[in-house]
Structure 1
Amino acid sequence: MTSLGRTTIGVTSERGEDAVVRTERLTRCFGTGAGTVVAVRGVTVSVTSGDRIALTGPSGSGKSTLLHLLAGLVTPTSGSVCWPDADPDAAPVAAGLVFQGRSLVPNLNVTENVRLPLLFAGCREADATNRAHAALSRLGICALATAMPDTLSGGQAQRVGIARVLAAAPRLILADEPTGQLDHAAAALVIDVLLGAADDLGSALIVSTHDPVVARRLPMEWAMRDGRLRRTSLDGQRR
């Protein structure tokens, strides 16, 4: 449902599937008083495992903040976000976020970075290492397994960040400008990998992007402006 004249926008699944994540009137503000910035304004969404969503909008429109809220990394100022079938004691995890900037631990090599969230989740070291290597292989960067972060290019570091998320097998894959530092060929590969991983894992996928070529690879679009959300489908119809 969508109420175009109101701040609160409802975006719901049309397939009747169980939701991976739901939000209700989700709002996030930064600052206080006259300097308050409302980054996300009253967003109500329901995302299912079959959803493949491009999150578009100008810089400062609230895209990154919304992804951080959906990943549980930021606390809402008001409203709520929940993961209905999340089990904190079992894999896969509820959500995994590919950060926009460099996010690797500098004193750990690539394999150690990729397996780190699995170890925190209680995975055995051998299993975590195997899953890390499998994720690196999926992205075609096995040769970087023992490399240190300060030896990586921006594009390589971004792909390692993607591998770290995929190794954890999340129910919701969130990617914040994952192709921003990549050339067209590498960007196409990353989107192929994200789409393939979402299919293999049965996960939902939301990709924040400024690139219309990337956006067209996903059948649904969430467009943000001034913290407000609108959805359009592949046929261009606003919902």
Structure 2
Amino acid sequence: MARLRRESPTAAGRPRSPAGQARCTPRVNSAAVENGPVHAAAQRPRHSAQSSMQRERVFQQADGARRDAERGNMGFNVAALAISIVALVASALLAFGQLRSTQRANTLAMFFDGFRETRSPEFRRSVEYVLYHLRDEFPTPVSYLELPEGPKEHVRQVAFFYDELGKLVVHGIVDRDLVIGSYGLSIYRTWIAIAPYVYRERELRQRTVLPYLEHMAAVTSEITAADIHRKMKLRSFPPPLQH
């Protein structure tokens, strides 16, 4: 009881001071509490806009990369096509060159065969007969196929050789100037000698024989071997004077 009396009733029942309450109670920012939801709501569209802009930039970068890749692929395709075309043209030129070389080799082979034939004794005898004896022995034109076997064989050997040679010239296999420069005079004289007998054969059987020989004879009547020699600038070298 004495202990209860010594305690001050005012100290036991006295309320705490406002300062004490302030120390115990945390301060709350009323403006932040009131404006918090509004501020978050205001910040949300700004973040959404930034996100949209970032996505758009990403899409633009991806689209640019895709276009760059497409341009790169297109450039690669164009380069590959150009290389293919160049390779094709080169192959075609090479094949054409090989073809021309083969044709030239075949032409030379045929021409050398012709040279050998014209140098043979049989061919020379046939040429001599056609040029110097045919008209004398058969002054009245008949078909060359109605000639006796010997004269007929002479005519056929010479005439058909020059006809085949004219065929090669007309079809562009052998150079015309080469043939005229080598055989022009012989072709012309052979046709003049056998023309009446050839035309008689055409009249009798209504067929065209030896057309290429006739064509070459017409050409050599306008372009002679001497013309070709001048065109090729062949030089002369006469023998020295004898003292």
Shorter-chain TM range is: under 0.3
State the TM-score, normalized to the length of structure 2.
Answer: 0.23
Flag the structure with larger Rg.
Answer: 2
State the TM-score, normalized to the length of structure 1.
Answer: 0.23
Q: Which has the higher helix share?
A: 2
Q: Which has the higher strand share?
A: 1
